[in-house]
Structure 1
């Protein structure tokens, strides 16, 4: 584990979580200042307000878009669902890719993040950002339990969906429910690209970049006091949820470095699932 990551983990144990996240996000904003000055015309959400995660907002968005486009064989007229869209990191590249018949719907529990996304896709009638009033200890939502949330899409209306760093913060019952909803809204043959942490049989995670330990119902967590901070699932459990949702794995998992002892490439696992064609 890197010294900075180890320090953050220690700080979470002794300080209130909002304080730690606020300081961490402020430091990331300071680190981003050169990129902001270099490209002042590219809108970048301030992490201190939007909690968008680390790395270059637009570069990472483009990288995920490229993976999503290739993995789903995405067409310009596709109807896309962005689960946990945040400030619209994937909406920006999609806005230049989808044509007049393409439709994007993103949902998130942060109205502040959605406001940023709406402001910077203004004039794009094809783009819809929906507030998901659901509970989350990680991101502060205080509405309905996520297990009861219905995605803002009609049955079998979505060609392709994505969920970047969403399932890594969902409790078991919520993760299973979100997969069921994905199964409901995807068209036959439609695909969902998601990132998360899959626990393979025999994994030893004691010295991993992200050390997880058993929690409940096939879930492993970094901190049992704050399970939604980082949560992974045993592969057998995850695949059972897929079957129950009418979904299946569509490609081999691209393993992230979270389970290694050194950092390399992508942090979370990249997972592609599909709703079988009729």
Structure 2
């Protein structure tokens, strides 16, 4: 009754459970390695929290929850100033793994190109001028007509961390469909979001993050925070993202609700892991 939804495909669990000590050791290395690239504190223009700690936490989630493998080809939507990329440099195989980050804010892309790529040449970054009310209001590419500059079936794993939380609903399906096009059959998409289920919407435990006092916008499916620009934090009706993933050609293999809603969980935002369905022929 009102417990966080948590579903695992059978093939997600053994890979990381058998290597937990190795994973923990690697995450500690990410936290303590002073030679890893790190931007000046004043330059971290997206997200809050400790740059290195947040990145290490998500690397653990990508492996344990998402099933990310060292030889994977990774697409990071909204790569920002490398918060996810830098920890991944310590996990992806330098010969067989690769990473592509895209972002509409040119400053973050420039820093990553200058600070990450020269040391890790299998990590590349591209500025894509997608319009966004908050982050790139003068962008040339309308999010409703998004077409990313990569061929079909190029990637094994795609990341959308804190991206859906800033998208209008009519762009969510566009992003999911475009990512589905670029993933290989069986490839996975890792998404974080705010799901406005009954517990979150009513703050049933009285412990919801006070910064996220979501109120429904009209008939839904969006929930916005009063006093903030609408796209500063977007929640969606429970079921909206599930259906959008299904329509885009994904099967959800994991849905785990986060502790922002006041429930115990091992992560803050809600997490979806979805797998691209195989295409016959």
Classify the TM-score, shorter chain.
Answer: 0.7 to 0.9
- Give the match's secondary structure for 1:124: coil
Q: State the partner residue of 1:149.
A: 146
Q: Tell whether the 8 Å contact from 1:79 to 1:104 is kept in structure 2 after alignment.
A: yes
Q: State the partner residue of 1:104.
A: 99
Q: Tell whether the 8 Å contact from 2:165 to 2:235 is kept in structure 1 after alignment.
A: yes
Q: State the partner residue of 1:140.
A: 136
Q: State the partner residue of 2:121.
A: 125
**1:204 to partner: Cα distance:** 3.1
**1:166 to partner: Cα distance:** 0.7
- Give the match's secondary structure for 1:68: helix
Provide closer, same or farther for how the CA distance between residues 102 and 58 of structure 1 changes in structure 2, counting only shifts above 3 A: same
Q: State the partner residue of 2:7.
A: none
Taking the TM superposition and a 5 Å limit, the aligned residue runs for 1:9-88 are 41-88=35-82
- Give the match's secondary structure for 2:235: strand
Higher relative contact order (CA 8 A, sep 6+): 2
Provide closer, same or farther for how the CA distance between residues 71 and 153 of structure 1 changes in structure 2, counting only shifts above 3 A: farther
In the alignment, is residue 230 of structure 1 matched against residue 224 of structure 2? no
2:256 maps to which of 254, 257, 260: 254
**1:42 to partner: Cα distance:** 4.5
Q: Tell whether the 8 Å contact from 1:205 to 1:213 is kept in structure 2 after alignment.
A: no
Provide closer, same or farther for how the CA distance between residues 42 and 95 of structure 1 changes in structure 2, counting only shifts above 3 A: closer
- Give the match's secondary structure for 2:172: helix
In 1, the alpha carbon distance for the partners of 2:50 and 2:179 equals: 28
2:172 maps to which of 172, 175, 189: 175
* Greater fraction of residues in helix: 1
In 2, the alpha carbon distance for the partners of 1:39 and 1:73 equals: 24
What is the CA RMSD across the aligned residues, in angstroms? 2.4
**1:153 to partner: Cα distance:** 2.4
Q: Tell whether the 8 Å contact from 1:205 to 1:212 is kept in structure 2 after alignment.
A: no
Alpha-carbon displacement from aligned partner over 1:238-274 (angstroms, at most 9, x marks no partner): 22211210012111x22222223x8976331122111
Of the structure 1 ranges 202-211 and 264-273, higher mean CA displacement relative to structure 2 is found in: 202-211
How many residues end up aligned between the 2 structures? 239
- Give the match's secondary structure for 1:178: helix
Q: TM-score, normalised by structure 1?
A: 0.77
Provide closer, same or farther for how the CA distance between residues 265 and 243 of structure 1 changes in structure 2, counting only shifts above 3 A: closer
Alpha-carbon displacement from aligned partner over 1:122-144 (angstroms, at most 9, x marks no partner): 14332110112011122134212
Q: Tell whether the 8 Å contact from 1:134 to 1:146 is kept in structure 2 after alignment.
A: yes
1:198 maps to which of 195, 200, 224: 195
Q: State the partner residue of 2:217.
A: 215
- Give the match's secondary structure for 1:117: helix
Of the structure 1 ranges 104-113 and 268-277, higher mean CA displacement relative to structure 2 is found in: 268-277
Mind listing any 5+ residue stretches in structure 2 that lack a counterpart? 1-31
Q: Tell whether the 8 Å contact from 2:250 to 2:277 is kept in structure 1 after alignment.
A: yes
In 1, the alpha carbon distance for the partners of 2:187 and 2:217 equals: 32
**1:195 to partner: Cα distance:** 0.8
